[in-house]
Structure 1
Amino acid sequence: MAIKAPMKGCVKMSDEEIVRRIQDGDSQAFHELYDNYFDFAYRAAKVVMNSQQSYAKDAVQETFIRVYQHIHLFDCNRTFKPWFYKILLNECNRILKKNSGVLSVGMDINHSVQQNEQTNDKLNHFVEYENLYKAIQHLDENNRIPIILKYLSGFKEQEIAEILGENINTIKSRLFYGRKKLKHFLHCNEEGS
């Protein structure tokens, strides 16, 4: 059996390689970076901002503007994703503070349930997800953000510490207490059903 060489142009570049291309003036590279990160950024912003879609879109847009403006400062010997996420979190927090009197917690449950009523399995999965989502939204920011970063975005504890500018032991503690609060909320919610 012959092994085929990868087709030219099909090898996925690392984020750091794409950033190097941007720093060298390749405008197409920024489009690649945008395509690679938009969905991730939008989902993360919706969770951080309690599903406020319009504010999440604003945060993502501002994040990409900031990344574009400051990409020349990025050290390509480091990992790009934590740097990007730190900018995204800063933009989410800035927009939340700016609109603090306007935000409401939660999502349109009826709309989401209608989309997931095709099968009982999907509905059960949605209810489990919805309960977890509500539990995460009840956490204070000190616990919610590390939980989102670790379990929904896949960051390691050291990366979370770098993103948030905290000591790794502080992050471990926030994760521990965040999981404890989630477990308590989910347990209380289960008993109330």
Structure 2
Amino acid sequence: MDMITKPNKNRKTGISRLGVANVNSPCTTELAAIKQCRNGSRKAFEVIVNRYMKDAYYIALGYVGNRQDALDLSQEAFFKAYRKLDTLHADNKFFPWFYQILKNQCFSHLRKFKNKHTQSLDGAEEPIIIQDEKHCFDPEMIAERNEAKDRLWQAIGQLDEKHREVIILRHFQNYSYDQIAQTLLYSKGTVMSRLYYARKKLRELLDDKKGGLR
């Protein structure tokens, strides 16, 4: 491909390493861009990548906890999406479909390197901020106060997939409940329920690690 290139893991640059330039394209909407992609336009896919590459990077960062791996995985996910674009139903939105590809990439990576990688959020461009609107539960504040930011990440890593993904979308991406529901194809009620139990589980995990929250 000319602009949408296969990931080069030897390069160590920023998000721009996804290989996407600012392109003056007649594709002003996602549907138009996807339609042109299916007609063979590679540049049209750049419109899609430009729109979602930052979200993809931070979601991957939330899953794997390493900036370089997040860059590689998000780029690989876009490359796979480009190759599989004909499987995207015409009536479906791109991002919920792409999110499944990205998530699968991340979990495959985590399974492969489970015992090889030390996950850390040190150096991440944006902090994790987790808030419980009712109880003002802020694990980030607790973690910083106890000099235990890594414990927070380890606790997030112990959540099961369905609870971890809502935490990542809500608190890494600051998605609304409606946006999470659209991305995960769940009802809003399911999203709210899973967030409640995810936060509850995080509190329990942090309690176990610190002998109680202060």
TM-score category, normalised to shorter length: 0.5 to 0.7
Q: Which has the higher contact order (CA 8 A, sep 6+)?
A: 1
1:149 aligns with 2:163: no
Higher helix share: 1
Q: Secondary structure at the match of 2:84?
A: helix
Count of aligned positions:
165
The 1:133/1:95 distance shift into structure 2, 3 A limit, reads closer
TM-score by length of 2: 0.61
Shift of 1:140: 3.6
Aligned Cα RMSD in Å?
A: 3.5
Query: Which of 77, 82, 105 lines up with 1:68 in the alignment?
Result: 82
What whole-Å deviation, never above 9, does each CA across 1:63-97 have from its counterpart, x for those lacking one?
A: 01111111122123212111111110011111112
Moved over 4 A (4+): 9-12, 130-135, 167-173, 183-189
Task: Give yes or no for contact 2:57–2:74 (8 Å, CA) kept in 1.
Answer: yes
1:176 aligns with 2:200: no
Task: Give yes or no for contact 2:155–2:205 (8 Å, CA) kept in 1.
Answer: yes
- Point out where structure 2 has 5 or more consecutive residues left out of the alignment: 1-23, 125-140
Task: Give yes or no for contact 1:139–1:178 (8 Å, CA) kept in 2.
Answer: yes
- Point out where structure 1 has 5 or more consecutive residues left out of the alignment: 1-8, 113-123
The 1:192/1:57 distance shift into structure 2, 3 A limit, reads same
Aligned residue in 2 for 1:30: 45
- 1:133 and 1:96 map into 2 onto residues whose CA distance is 14
- 2:156 and 2:31 map into 1 onto residues whose CA distance is 32
Quick one: which amino acid aligns to residue 161 of structure 2?
A: E
Larger Rg: 1
Identity %: 28
1:14 aligns with 2:34: no
Shift of 1:146: 2.3
Task: Give yes or no for contact 1:45–1:88 (8 Å, CA) kept in 2.
Answer: yes
Structural mapping, 1:124-135, within 5 Å:
127=144
Task: Give yes or no for contact 1:42–1:57 (8 Å, CA) kept in 2.
Answer: yes
Shift of 1:132: 6.3
Q: Secondary structure at the match of 1:103?
A: coil
Task: Give yes or no for contact 1:135–1:182 (8 Å, CA) kept in 2.
Answer: yes
The 1:159/1:192 distance shift into structure 2, 3 A limit, reads closer
- 1:98 and 1:185 map into 2 onto residues whose CA distance is 24
- 1:176 and 1:55 map into 2 onto residues whose CA distance is 29
